[in-house]
Amino acid sequence: MTATRERDTDVEELERVTIRFAGDSGDGMQLTGTQFTRTAAVFGNDISTFPDFPAEIRAPAGSLPGVSGFQISFSSTDIHTPGDEPDVLVAMNPAALKTNIGDLPAGGALIVNSDAFTQQNLNKAAFTSNPLTDGSLKAFTVFEVPISTLNERSLDGLDMTSKQKDLTKNFFALGLMFWLYERSMDPTLHWIDQKFSARPVIADANKRALKAGYAFGETTEAFHTHYRVRPAKLDAGTYRNITGNEATALGFLAASKLAGRQLFYGSYPITPASDILHQLSGYKSFGVKTFQAEDEIAAIGAAIGASYGGALGLTASSGPGIALKSEAMGLAVMVELPLIVIDVQRAGPSTGMPTKNEQADLLQVMFGRNADSPIPIVAPATPGECFDYAIEACRLALKYMTPVAFMSDAFLATGSEPWRIPAVADLPDISVVNATDASSFRPYLRDPHTLARPWAVPGTPGLEHRIGGLEKADVTGNVSYDPDNHHRMQQLRAAKVAGIADDIPPLEVFGPEQGELLILGWGSTYGAIRSAVERLTADGKSDAHAHLRHLNPFPKNTETVLRRYRRVLIPEVNLGQLLMLVRAKYLIDAVGYDRVRGKPFRIAEIVAEADRILGATAGGSVASELGAAQP
């Protein structure tokens, strides 16, 4: 307890807290969440966040579809997910309460802006009675705070309209949460000064709102306790908070420097990939060229054109855009040029739920082209890993002269975590050399080890040659309809991609090296699976976790690893796509666990499924059925 406090409150020390801010999409909930995240990150907590917002920019105020949420989990220990359920729900209006209260466990804290519970807003949220008075919230610890009124009062005398004043109420809520969790306001005060330097009145209002919220927490009798979450014991190093899209953009920027190639980024705006374009367009002083194309096809076409010219060509989209790029991806396979295709997946099919998460494009990216048309696939598991796998994708594209798919998703893209910043000197050299020797040059003469063809860029004297989508004769690259040549070329293209398995790290296992159950995952399910296995281990179970970062080809030891376990469980945010690949490739009777709710997995769901499967195994029938698959 600090001496400066005006009244005594109890301080309770917690290991981990999960807060969800929920309000109208115009209420600034994403900003509120982001500011809390920055503060917690700089304080030294481990953090994990989950922004969850509607596709509509401004749905009608107070309506159920307009609710925007931001969940942050911060901890004094290592955490992998933004938390299954919030400990604290901040609901700025009835609609936010209605759409989020189902996730708040009994006994959870609920802070509501009571001013917003007007009859009109209750009607919009389809409440037939006021939940603040009808007893329906009695399972929770409810704090009714007239946030709008208190906030407006704190802005007395400022030259602003009532409406403008009301827009700052999210900072009041943030200030209150800062007090509740012993956070410094300084990072946010500093941010406000910078953000609104040209509009001093707005800056002043936001700062007053923030401080008023903090002061309210300090002086009100309502809160008897405030909470302390100490810094986490992270590995030594310098950290920053980073989202997957930020790490992706930084990773490709770094890759272009490591390759010594100009970065060319062709893109068409699409949720949730657009932020990569925004970020890369700010790297002009690095020579990065960004191109907002007329459509998805032009975006990839331009990237291929740039790669043909010797640059590092990059394009990004989400599922619907990847569908449009398919034909050009096939062209890149045929002409064997380096190219990166980023797929920031979202819920589908068709337009689906553009801002919601899913990892259901795996088979599309794997097979979604005419003919056998293999493309290596990498998939980062955490926001920070997007940096490493951007570099890895470029390494493979350049070394093997091939398009490479980089699969992220909405959860990785917008979620954040503390990221240990690497030293530039420690990053790998991924540079490759262009062909220059006219006497030995043949457009499709392959490197005997990698099977890559030479990269002969326009401007190189004596290497004038023609490439294209028509089948190529082996070695010469001339147009060929020869049946045996086509068969050979199809095999060569497949062998080139398959051979990458010799050049990637083996699949690692967390937990016992062999045993009853291995949970296999890919992409953003990492955090939930790892946390589930940690929880199972703490409960005395011996389940294991393996996570694929290379999905084509798989690491060489994948089959060996999978066969060491009696059962293999593959949780996916799709209807069983990795499951299909694993079963088809290895004839292993893996089972899937699918949740496609537009949200990441909950830890508890995976724990329950693992227990359910092992329960079945313990019964004996499944074990004997699997007897043949034992090592």
Q: Looking at residues 252 to 281 of the shown chain, list those that interact with other proteins (rule: CB under 8 A).
A: 253-254, 256-258, 260-262, 264, 266
The candidate with the shortest Cα–Cα distance to 310, out of 418, 203, 185, 436, is: 436
- Contact window for other proteins (CB under 8 A) among 48-56, 71-79, 341-349, 460-468: 460-468
Q: Could you give the CA distance from residue 30 to residue 171 in angstroms, rounded to a whole number? A: 12
Is 184 a binding residue for other proteins by CB under 8 A? The answer is no
Compute the least distance from the CB of residue 457 to other proteins, in Å.
5
- Contact window for other proteins (CB under 8 A) among 163-171, 194-202, 466-474, 564-572: 466-474
Compute the least distance from the CB of residue 538 to other proteins, in Å.
25
Compute the least distance from the CB of residue 11 to other proteins, in Å.
23
Is 32 a binding residue for other proteins by CB under 8 A? The answer is no
By beta-carbon proximity to other proteins, the closer residue of 61 and 323 is: 323
Residues 523-582 that bind other proteins (CB under 8 A): none
Token code pair at residue 592: 């899937």
Other CB atoms within a 10 A radius of the CB of residue 458 amount to: 10
352 backbone dihedrals φ, ψ, rounded to 5°: 55, -130
Is 230 a binding residue for other proteins by CB under 8 A? The answer is no
Specify the length of the chain in residues.
631
- Contact window for other proteins (CB under 8 A) among 209-217, 326-334, 524-532, 565-573: 326-334
Is 185 a binding residue for other proteins by CB under 8 A? The answer is no
- Contact window for other proteins (CB under 8 A) among 23-31, 286-294, 371-379, 530-538: 286-294
For 526, the enclosing helix (H) or strand (E) is helix 526-538
Q: Could you give the CA distance from residue 601 to residue 50 in angstroms, rounded to a whole number? A: 12
458 backbone dihedrals φ, ψ, rounded to 5°: -50, 145
Is 454 a binding residue for other proteins by CB under 8 A? The answer is no
By beta-carbon proximity to other proteins, the closer residue of 101 and 255 is: 255
Is 433 a binding residue for other proteins by CB under 8 A? The answer is yes
435 Cβ neighbours under 8 A, 6+ residues apart: 441, 454, 455, 456, 460, 463
Compute the least distance from the CB of residue 294 to other proteins, in Å.
4
Q: How many residues bind other proteins (CB under 8 A)?
A: 84
Q: Quick one: 199 exposed, middle or buried, by C-beta within 10 A (0-12, 13-18, 19+)?
A: exposed
- Contact window for other proteins (CB under 8 A) among 130-138, 285-293, 530-538, 607-615: 285-293
Compute the least distance from the CB of residue 316 to other proteins, in Å.
14
User: Looking at this protein, which amino acid is placed at residue 237?
Assistant: G
Compute the least distance from the CB of residue 565 to other proteins, in Å.
35
DSSP-based three-state secondary structure for 7: coil
326 backbone dihedrals φ, ψ, rounded to 5°: -55, -45
* Binding track, positions 334-353, relative to other proteins; x by CB under 8 A: -x------------------
Question: Are the CB atoms for 366 and 581 separated by under 8 Å?
Answer: yes
DSSP-based three-state secondary structure for 63: coil
By beta-carbon proximity to other proteins, the closer residue of 254 and 507 is: 254
By beta-carbon proximity to other proteins, the closer residue of 304 and 528 is: 304
Compute the least distance from the CB of residue 33 to other proteins, in Å.
16
Alpha helix segments (H runs only) across 181-232: 186-195, 200-219
By beta-carbon proximity to other proteins, the closer residue of 99 and 414 is: 414
**Member of 118, 220, 478, 480 binding other proteins (CB under 8 A):** 478
By beta-carbon proximity to other proteins, the closer residue of 47 and 344 is: 47
449 backbone dihedrals φ, ψ, rounded to 5°: -90, -50
Question: Are the CB atoms for 518 and 544 separated by under 8 Å?
Answer: yes
DSSP-based three-state secondary structure for 229: coil
Other CB atoms within a 10 A radius of the CB of residue 355 amount to: 19
Compute the least distance from the CB of residue 259 to other proteins, in Å.
8
Compute the least distance from the CB of residue 431 to other proteins, in Å.
7
Is 482 a binding residue for other proteins by CB under 8 A? The answer is no
Is 436 a binding residue for other proteins by CB under 8 A? The answer is yes
Question: Are the CB atoms for 71 and 83 separated by under 8 Å?
Answer: yes
Q: Could you give the CA distance from residue 27 to residue 23 in angstroms, rounded to a whole number? A: 6
Residues 405-424 that bind other proteins (CB under 8 A): 421-424
Compute the least distance from the CB of residue 626 to other proteins, in Å.
44
Is 44 a binding residue for other proteins by CB under 8 A? The answer is yes
The candidate with the shortest Cα–Cα distance to 565, out of 614, 610, 516, 512, is: 516
